Amino acid sequence: MKPLETAPPILNTIKVNEIFYSIQGESTWAGTPCAFVRLAGCNCRCLYCDTSYALHEGTDRSFEDIVNTVKKYSPAIVEVTGGEPLIHRETPKLCQELLKLCHPVLVETNGTLDISVLPSACIRIMDIKCPSSQVDVPFLRENIHHLNKNDECKMVISNREDFDWAVDFIKQTNLHTLCTTLFSPNHNWLTLKELAQWILSDQTPVRLGFQLHKTIWDPNTRGV
């Protein structure tokens, strides 16, 4: 008989791409100084991924090292991002450690993996991918049921097809009644003005978002 397979233990280390201090750019927290912990690796390959360097590059770092690095910034908020943070079984435990240091801890996720594993004190910022992303992994619909009023969903809109798809998604799921929902223009493909006009003319119940960090800094710069 084949022996039962046991899951490997959850460690106190995790693969980190970079830790840096910058301005939060893509949520209702935009404008707030924030310490970012960017984890390495992702289960998706989006066409317009702007952090492709994080998909493969990373170093194993202890939670103690990560917390001590974050602590140096005395941040108002911390964001765990990627890549996709939820590909790591250690991410919920890392968030627990960061919550001892700072509230809130934001976690940016692509919504394809179970968000309910995260501590309830975390704020989940779920990036629901529109067709232009050409994402190859389906959104996990169950995640809709785990959202609360503190969480946020954002959808990056590249063109009218994305906009219509996103509006339809909202109608089907009532997403805007569950948490703040933001539509942001894809920095290279659509202007803020065009998206604002579509939101207004269609009376879409969302908030206009934008990628503030890409306005402040060179969009090709790492660690911002």
* Residues binding ligand SF4 (CB under 6 A): 42, 44-46, 49, 51, 82-84, 110
Backbone torsion region of residue 88, taken as left when φ is above 0, otherwise alpha when ψ lies between -120 and 50, otherwise beta: beta
* Residue closer to ligand SF4, measured from CB, 88 or 102: 88
Which C-beta is closer to ligand SF4: that of 16 or that of 42? 42
Shortest approach of ligand SF4 to residue 135 CB, angstroms? 6
Shortest Å distance, C-beta 195 to ligand SF4 = 19
d(CA 90, CA 108): 15
CA-to-CA distance for 38 and 17, rounded, in angstroms? 5
| Closest distance of CB 52 from ligand SF4, Å | 6
Nearest distance, CB of residue 110 and ligand SF4, angstroms: 4
For helices 91-99 and 63-71, give the axis angle rounded to 10 degrees: 40
Say if residue 145 is exposed, middle or buried (CB neighbours under 10 Å; 0-12, 13-18, 19+). Answer: exposed
Q: 84 or 151: whose CB is closer to ligand SF4?
A: 84
Given the complex with ligand SF4, which of 27 and 110 has the nearer CB atom? Answer: 110
Beta-strand pair 105-109/123-127:
parallel
State which residue, 45 or 71, has the beta carbon closest to ligand SF4: 45
What's the min distance (Å) between Cβ of 139 and ligand SF4?
A: 11
- Reading the block at residue 131, the tokens are 């067709």
